[in-house]
Amino acid sequence: MAEFTLDLNDDQKQVRDWLHGFAADVIRPAAAEWDEREETPWPVIQEAAKVGIYSLDFYAQQYFDPTGLSIPVAMEELFWGDAGIALSIVGTGLAAVGVLANGTEEQIGTWIPQMYGTPDDVKLAAFCSSEPDAGSDVSAMRTRAVYDEAKDEWVLNGTKTWATNGGIANVHVVVAVVDPALGSKGHASFIVPPGTPGLSQGQKFKKHGIRASHTAEVVLEGVRVPGHCLLGGKRKLDERLARAHERARSAAAGADGGERVKNAAMATFEASRPAVGAMAVGTARAAYEVALDYAKTRSQFGRPIIDNQGIAFQLADMRTRIDASRLLVWRASWMAATGKAFTSAEGSMSKLYASETAKQVTAQAVQILGGNGFTREYPVERMHRDAAIYTIFEGTSEIQRLVIARTLSGMPIR
């Protein structure tokens, strides 16, 4: 029987240390500048591409690690550097996960390399799911995809919002309604190739945090994509829709609806939730380390402030929550990699707890630094702003609790 261990193997440790060095030497020195500029940090992305971090090969190696731990380890280190810049580096990954979760082998091999480009010609990708009236409620999605059988093309119309790299990406992955009668089960994902007419950037958002990451609306007006750009293919879609209709008829008749029909957007988010949790762990850890160093060097009333239980106990709680969050993320990542089902919504648990931890820990770090923590002279102010996003994107904390409660109870809790 294999011995139980939480130790990373030598390869994982080497990658972790390499990423930590990049985060410390390249990302952190640039963090304040790009937060203020609120622009995509192209020089940092290009540097990440030159050293091999922003590349298909790197993410493929981490993604296919049989332990499942390489991705969360990588995310934690990059986001320890800075959340906004790190999201600019890894934002393409969500679109890539969308293709991996829903696409064929041919589509994976064709499109994911085009999402990254080369060190000399860096490309970006965007995953477009949320809409102005359809965030947590994916059943309210209005973007439509209609099949033109004569030309074997899909015609997309609608507006997407909150899209990382939206409008500036070379490749967009768009979730659209193909069968309105099925609600959220009638969705499908499409690749919109570079330069496709009809796709444009709408409003670019000025955000509270993660300001170095580009977030914008994506407008689709008569966008035509070839039939082979439907992720998974037409045959698979038709079979899935037929199962969904049969399930709906069975439910209406009071019979067992059979197997669960997967939603295109949810398949992507299910795969990425532990990774988002790891991002939150990285930000929380960064703020905790600043607060710990400050508490050991800042003196009041003739002694370091960490000598006071009010400060020391906060730091103890902060570190405990960070380590607990990491363990939840690692468990979910390991389960996903080894094919174990999230029977208790372990993916949502990891994202929920780590996200809430990041908000709490960064707030405590600001408090420990006092007035200094409230200024931009110290990084915890930025970390606190950045941490707010983790409880919002890729499923709010409220939605995670709903998923967990439904999974545990088996009841349609609303």
Query: Active-site residues: which are they?
Result: 394
Residues contacting 252, CB < 8 A, separation 6+: none
Query: Which pair of structure tokens corresponds to residue 302?
Result: 């003739």
Cβ-based neighbour number of residue 6 at 10 Å: 8
Residues contacting 60, CB < 8 A, separation 6+: none
386, 283 Cβ separation under 8 angstroms: yes
Strand, helix or coil for residue 177: strand
70, 15 Cβ separation under 8 angstroms: yes
d(CA 26, CA 81): 9
Q: Can you spell out the DSSP letters for 325-360?
A: HHHHHHHHHHHHHTT---TT-HHHHHHHHHHHHHHH
Altogether, the residues listed in the chain come to a count of: 414
User: Cα–chain-centroid distance for residue 95?
Assistant: 10
**What percentage of the chain's residues is helix, strand, coil (to nearest 5)?**
60, 15, 25
